[in-house]
Structure 1
Amino acid sequence: MPKPNSLKSIFFALGANLAIFIAKLGAALFTGSGSLLAEAIHSLADTGNQLLLLWGLKLSRRPPTPKHPLGHGKAIFFWSFIVALLLFSMGGMFSIYEGFYKLKHPKTISYPFLALGVLLFSLLAEGISLIGCLKEINKVRKNQTLLTWFKKTRQSELLVVFGEDSAAIIGLTFAFLAIVLSIITQNPFYDALGSILIGILLIVIALAIGSEVYELLIGQGVEPEIKEKIIELLEKQPEIKQVLNLITLQLGPNVMVAVKAKMNLKKSALELVNDINQCEQILKKHFPQVKWIFFEPDIKK
């Protein structure tokens, strides 16, 4: 099965968000649109978020040390959680504030068609970024729905990029419709309402991302399907009579596995050790993400 390239998805999103931020900010300052300014801040937050994810990936790849014997893989979970907090605060809360400010101080949008043009450009750029992200997701999603994948995935950085891109597409649509309604009615109320709706959307997406990353941060095992496949593989080995217990821990891109197994009887301790080593080698061959194995022979659970 091909492995999804999270780094590629992050760079796609980074390039798109940086270009979109510059375009939105210029148009927002020129037109005075609250929805467009909210979207510009959203894109700025997303650009910073991609940089934080890149930093998190870099930290997660540091080798194990005596202080961190199981490596630094969970660093990407921490930075993904920080991204969710920033999306909530910097993106969502500011957009809501901007919307209520515009309600109290209404201002007619100048050059609204320029704003619409920038939003269409942004939709195109975000669409390209989302397609790139979905291409990587589809490598592992199989027949799962995107919602099921979102809840089950252990790749927090890919989850964050997908959540941000999805929020961006929906938010841009809100902003586009808000400005169109403002043009038709000549009422800036709809532009302010669009900003508030964008803020609510970002908060909902941020809470959804934060909830999933929280599970990984406090210690989550591999997907149930992978755990079943690990048990199935081990019980096929002639050295093992039965897997009594299996515990896994997701550590960023790597996995720790603890096995308690009932072994077929051997005449010596050396033979038992060789059998265990053989099983560990086979497990790592079929599941290269498994970096640490703690194997305990036993006769009962």
Structure 2
Amino acid sequence: MGELFGLLKEGNKPSLLAAFVNTFIAFLKLGAFFLTGNVAMFAEMMHSFGDAANQFFVFIGSALSKKAPTERFPKGFGRLVNLVCLGAVIIVGILSYETIKEGINHLRHPVESTGFLISLGVLGIAVILELFVLFKAGKEILHEVGISASGVNPLTKSFAHLNRAKPATKLVFMEDLVATSGGLLAMIAVIISHYSGLGQVEGLASIIIGLMMFYVVGRVFLENARGAIGETDDIMRGNIADIVLADSSIKDIQRLDVIKEGEHLHVEVEIEVDPTLTIAEADDIKDRLEHLIYTQKGVTSVVIEFDEDNQIREWT
């Protein structure tokens, strides 16, 4: 039990914050839906419950992925966070379907909703809270890539570095981006419906919100499927190649793999050296390279192999 609590402390903090905030928002929207019957509110309620469930799962997965390697699992549990994210998107997919289905039903059979001010107030509170979580997730993204997160940078620069973020942080950011956009869309639909009498607008908003959720499902599924299989980090691969070739004792690189293991990076490199080197000299090179590679952000495992120089340039 002590080990479990220790791992939970290492879990992705933005996902835990988002889970609690979205749970509160979901129940707030649930109460508003019962009072008003607003179908756009229903869509937002489903969205928030889906996000909350996802983010709780992602937090637990990110924590368990920090578990140290065992004899049975020598490469550790890094990819567990990818598997959890894959499971989490199934929940969002189901809720997306229900949201779209409810929107279509409302388009066919529009029902006048009540409680205009209640709907608008609840949605306004939700948007503010979602924007706060989005800001925190954006700040975490910039922290993960080593960029200053001052001012409004978390809401502007984070988009450019989204692909380099950890899987859990990326999922939270994308879900809350859609949640914030969906909340604003639902507010617009409520206002138009109230003043124009066109109840179908709320159904249309529900369909659009559901489609936005499906977009998150598709993108997150593909990215975490690649991570679960074992995806190469091309940027870090180039950085580590530069580090290795900068050593004057290295003649060439035969093979270099930088595999994403969830939030960690596993590095395997096969280098060519002068065949006349002694074992002690080769060991010094190995220690020197390991030290430099381990200083790279996210690297938790390094395997270095040696081969004699074949006088043929292979690494480009």
TM-score of the superposition, structure 2-length normalised?
Answer: 0.86
Query: Which residue in 2 is equivalent to 1:155?
Result: 166
1:291 aligns with 2:300: yes
More divergent stretch after superposition (128-137 vs 207-216) = 207-216
On the 8 A contact 1:29/1:37 being kept in 2, the answer is no
SS of 2:118's equivalent in the other structure is helix
User: Structure 1 segments of 4 or more deviating over 4 A?
Assistant: 141-148
Unaligned runs of 5+ in 2: 1-9, 148-152
**CA displacement at 1:268 relative to structure 2:** 2.6
Per the alignment, residue 120 of structure 1 pairs with 124
Residue pair 1:130, 1:162 contacting (<8 A) in 2 also: yes
Task: Give the AA of the match of 1:293.
Answer: V
SS of equivalent to 1:259: strand
Q: Secondary structure at the match of 1:68?
A: coil
Tell whether the 8 Å contact from 1:6 to 1:158 is kept in structure 2 after alignment: no
Distance 1:134 1:6 in 2: 17
Name the CA distance, whole Å, in 2 between partners of 1:141 and 1:293. 22
Instruction: Give the match for residue 25 of structure 1.
Output: 30
CA distance in 2, matches of 1:173, 1:217: 34
Distance 2:237 2:59 in 1: 29
Q: Which amino acid aligns with 1:67?
A: R
Structure 1 residue 145, shift from structure 2 partner: 6.0
Question: Is 2:194 the partner of 1:189?
Answer: no
Distance 1:130 1:57 in 2: 19
- Call closer, same or farther: CA 1:267–1:78 in 2, change over 3 Å: closer
Deviates more, 1:39-48 or 1:244-253: 244-253
Asked if the contact 1:6–1:157 (Cα under 8 Å) also holds between the matched residues in 2, the reply is: no
> Per-residue CA shift, 1:41-96, capped at 9, x if unaligned?
11011111111011101220111112211000100011112222222222x11111
SS, match of residue 261 in structure 1 = strand
Equivalent in the alignment of 1:177: 188
In 2, the alpha carbon distance for the partners of 1:187 and 1:291 equals 57
Quickly say closer, same or farther: Cα 1:116–1:141, change in 2 above 3 A: farther
Measured after TM superposition, the shift of residue 267 of structure 1 is 4.5
Distance 1:282 1:126 in 2: 40
Instruction: Report what 2:150 is aligned to.
Output: none
Which position in structure 2 is the counterpart of 1:100?
104
Give the equivalent residue in structure 2 for 1:233: 243
Higher mean alpha-carbon deviation, 61-70 vs 230-239, is at 230-239
Deviations 1:253-300 (A, max 9, x none): 22211111122454433432343233223322x226323222221224
Matched, 1:8 2:19: no
What residue is the counterpart of 1:216 in the other structure? Answer: 227
Between the two proteins, the alignment pairs up a number of residues equal to 293
Contact 1:244 1:261 in 2 (8 A): yes
Tell me, in whole angstroms, the C-alpha distance in 2 between the residues paired with 1:254 and 1:212: 15
Gaps of 5+ in 1: none
Which amino acid counterpart does residue 292 of structure 1 have in structure 2?
Answer: S
> Aligned with 1:67: secondary structure?
coil
Structure-2 residue corresponding to 1:257: 267
1:27 & 1:168 partners in 2: Cα distance?
17
Among 246, 249, 257, the residue aligned to 1:247:
257
Corresponding position of 1:204: 215
Equivalent pair of 2:11/2:60 in contact (CA under 8 Å): no
Contact 2:25 2:48 in 1 (8 A): yes
Name 2:70's counterpart in structure 1.
65
CA offsets, 1:173-213, max 9 Å, x none? 12111111110111211111111111111111221222222
> Could you tell me which amino acid in structure 2 is paired with residue 203 of structure 1?
F
Q: Report if aligned partners of 2:142, 2:161 keep a CA contact under 8 Å in 1.
A: no
> Whole-Å Cα distance in 2 between the matches of residues 78 and 148 of structure 1?
25
User: SS in structure 1 opposite 2:73?
Assistant: coil
Give, in whole Å, the separation in 1 of the partners of 2:11 and 2:170: 9
1:279 aligns with 2:289: yes
Aligned pair in 2 of structure 1 residues 267, 153: CA closer, same or farther (>3 Å)?
A: closer
Change (3 A) 1:16 1:267: closer
* CA RMSD in angstroms, aligned pairs only: 2.2
Equivalent runs, 1:35-54 vs 2, <5 Å:
35-54=40-59
CA shift for structure 1 position 216? 1.3
Q: 1:135 to 1:46 in 2, by over 3 A?
A: same
Deviates more, 1:6-15 or 1:181-190: 6-15
Specify whether residues 231 and 259 from structure 1 end up closer, same or farther in structure 2 by C-alpha distance, changes over 3 A only.
Answer: same
Shift of 1:101: 2.2
CA contact (8 A) 2:254 2:270 kept: yes
> Which residue of the partner structure matches residue 137 of structure 1?
141
